[in-house]
Amino acid sequence: MSLQIFGPRCPISAQVCAPARTRRVTTAPAWLACAGSLFACAAPPEPSRNLDAARAELALRAEDEQVAEAFARVPRGATARVLPPLEECVQPAQRGYWLLRAVAHSPDTRAALREWRATAAEARSAGVPNAVSVQVTDHEFGGEDKLVEAVFMFDVLGHLGVGPKRAERARASAAEALAYGALERAVWDVCQRVERARVRLAAARAREAAFLALAAEARGDLDRVAILERHGRIGEAESTAARAALADVERRVSEARSTVAVAVAELAVAAGVPSGDEALAAVDPAALDAGVSAASALPEAPPPPADWDTHPLLLERRLAFAVSEAEVRRVAASAWPSIGFGPHFARVDEVRIGGMLQLGLPFPASWRGRLEAALERREAAIDAYENALLTLEARNREGTARAAEASARLLGPTRTLVSATTDGWRASRASVRAGRGTWAHWIEALGRRSGSVALALDESEAFALAGLDIVDARGPAVRGTASLGGSTQGGQP
């Protein structure tokens, strides 16, 4: 409600005191007190959280109580298509454990949830009639003229719920639906991100274990090198070359550990948990095997067009088009005239009651340009939907091709190469231990083995990641989505 109190000689404000010659002037402080009380009612509440406590709250994120509290704020409809049953989200070795924490604590999910709740709150204030205008006029403040007039003006179209206010409510409702669609897409995206992070961490730990095992084998053989060198049965150059071959394997171990550290940080950020959380140690190489098995079970053919439309990205683009359409209607409704109507009170010696009508006619130039802009943005929303569909189809083809190639490599040349280098390394070790082989052959066999020891793991990781990309492109309607990434219990798929 807006309030204006004025007279022809001087306006009434908080800094002006009227003469006390008549009783009528005592109403001015009452009006000002009323207006001040209305503003006081809008005082913002104090924040419920303190920035200084953020570090302490972060440390508690991994606690089950904190996860359950944060997850309870996310609508069930946004998680129904991506989360397995809650009993499969209990142990860190389970796939659902990380998905649940990503939904509860991922930065993208939390931001989308806050935006949806803010948009929903704004929608509750949309389409409300304009403020009641109150105008009080004292024709001669403190003088001999006793005429005082008061006019109350109400927004007629707003109270009837038609015209601009109706269009405003429709746009706010569409914006709320879009914010919810953005929340669904954020939940989908963070879950896919966590799936990829789990696969990468499992593959990194598998590579670290493979290089550690190879280094242990080589280190055991080098004990004989030291003995032979002391007895003069092997030259310094050959012993130095053997140690250099072991150093190369140890360097690969160090590189693998660095990759593990990066993968741990990636999963921690994706899931929204502290990087020192002990649960991160439960993601072991078994998760990679489960991911490969799940990717192998994906259907080769893409889903029908009806299933494509259930993809969170396409749903969000459809809702964005609905918002742009509602915006066009809102701008078009701004061409309506505004109508104000209310009672008019006049008092000299007695009160007289009448009425007042107020019309506002907008200039066409005030809305035509905005309408053209809204039409262009509506066309842009259609373009965005087409581009999203094109992108998903391209990513599906790309993921399918990558999965096929990774599978072919894993079952073909990679298997042959790994088998040959493994046999060569075993034969070389047996020969030098029996005293019949040369250390030069041992060094050569170790180099070939160190170059191929992680090849099968690389292909398995590429195959599992390609399967996740296929699921990401096809959406929740793809069969087998619920088991992608594997559901492991106690390290067993």
Number of structural domains (the chain) is 1
| CA distances (Å), origin 305, targets 113, 127, 246, 474 | 29, 37, 55, 10
In a domain, residue 3? The reply is: no
Note whether 334 and 362 are within 8 A (CB). yes
Domain assignment of residue 238, given as a range: 57-125+163-477
- At residue 42, the pLDDT reads 56
Q: Which pLDDT band holds residue 103 (cuts at 50, 70, 90)?
A: confident
| Separation CA 387–CA 390 (nearest Å) | 5
Residue 106 has pLDDT above 70, yes or no: yes
In a domain, residue 396? The reply is: yes
For residue 20, what are the contacts with CB-CB under 8 A and spacing of at least 6? 26
What the block records as the tokens of 306 is 């009806």
What the block records as the tokens of 180 is 């919810």
Q: Which pLDDT band holds residue 377 (cuts at 50, 70, 90)?
A: very high
In a domain, residue 197? The reply is: yes
Lowest mean pLDDT among 170-179, 338-347, 433-442: 433-442
What residues does 135 pair with on adjacent strands? 4, 151
| CA distances (Å), origin 130, targets 133, 161, 341 | 9, 11, 12
Tell me whether strands 133-138 and 2-6 are parallel, antiparallel or unpaired: parallel
**Residue range 48-99, pLDDT digits in tens:** 565 555 555 655 555 666 667 767 778 887 787 788 888 888 888 888 888 8
Q: Which pLDDT band holds residue 43 (cuts at 50, 70, 90)?
A: low
| Separation CA 366–CA 9 (nearest Å) | 35
Residue with tokens 């129904």: 80
| CA distances (Å), origin 153, targets 13, 72, 346 | 22, 45, 15
Query: Cβ-count burial of 64 within 10 angstroms (0-12 exposed, 13-18 middle, 19+ buried)?
Result: exposed
| Separation CA 419–CA 396 (nearest Å) | 32
| Separation CA 229–CA 218 (nearest Å) | 17
Show the 3-state SS of the chain: CEEEEECCCCCCCCCCCCCCCCCHHHHHHHHHHHHHHHHHCCCCCCCCCCHHHHHHHHHCCCCHHHHHHHHHCCCHHHHCCCCCCHHHCCCCCCHHHHHHHHHHHCHHHHHHHHHHHHHHHHHCCCCCCCCCEEEEEECCCCCCCCCEEEEEEEEHHHHHCCCHHHHHHHHHHHHHHHHHHHHHHHHHHHHHHHHHHHHHHHHHHHHHHHHHHHHHHHHHHHHHHHHHHHCCCCCHHHHHHHHHHHHHHHHHHHHHHHHHHHHHHHHHHHHCCCCCCHHHHHCCCHHHHHHHHHHHCCCCCCCCHHHHCCCHHHHHHHHHHHHHHHHHHHHHHCCCCEEEEEEEEEECCCEEEEEEEEEECCCCHHHHHHHHHHHHHHHHHHHHHHHHHHHHHHHHHHHHHHHHHHHHHHHCHHHHHHHHHHHHHHHHHHHHHHCCCCHHHHHHHHHHHHHHCCHHHHHHHHHHHHHHHHHHHHCCCCCCHHHCCCCCECCEC
Q: Which pLDDT band holds residue 423 (cuts at 50, 70, 90)?
A: very high
| CA distances (Å), origin 488, targets 181, 284, 433 | 31, 10, 41
- At residue 54, the pLDDT reads 57
Residue 358 has pLDDT above 80, yes or no: yes
Q: What is the percent of the chain with per-residue pLDDT over 70, rounded to a whole number?
A: 80
**Residue range 225-261, pLDDT digits in tens:** 666 666 566 666 777 888 888 899 999 999 999 999 9
- At residue 482, the pLDDT reads 40
In a domain, residue 41? The reply is: no
Lowest mean pLDDT among 39-43, 121-125, 330-334, 462-466: 39-43
Q: Can you tell me the mean pLDDT for 290-316?
A: 85
For residue 444, what are the contacts with CB-CB under 8 A and spacing of at least 6? 428
Q: Can you tell me the mean pLDDT for 396-405?
A: 93
Phi, psi of 96, rounded to the nearest 5 degrees? -65, -25
Query: Cβ-count burial of 338 within 10 angstroms (0-12 exposed, 13-18 middle, 19+ buried)?
Result: middle
For residue 259, what are the contacts with CB-CB under 8 A and spacing of at least 6? 204, 207, 208
What the block records as the tokens of 478 is 């793809």
In a domain, residue 154? The reply is: no
Phi, psi of 129, rounded to the nearest 5 degrees? -55, 155
- At residue 30, the pLDDT reads 45
Lowest mean pLDDT among 134-138, 188-192, 193-197: 134-138
CATH number at residue 202: 1.20.1600.10
Note whether 123 and 173 are within 8 A (CB). yes
- At residue 227, the pLDDT reads 66
Residue 208 has pLDDT above 60, yes or no: yes
- At residue 485, the pLDDT reads 46
In a domain, residue 330? The reply is: yes
What the block records as the tokens of 304 is 């029908």
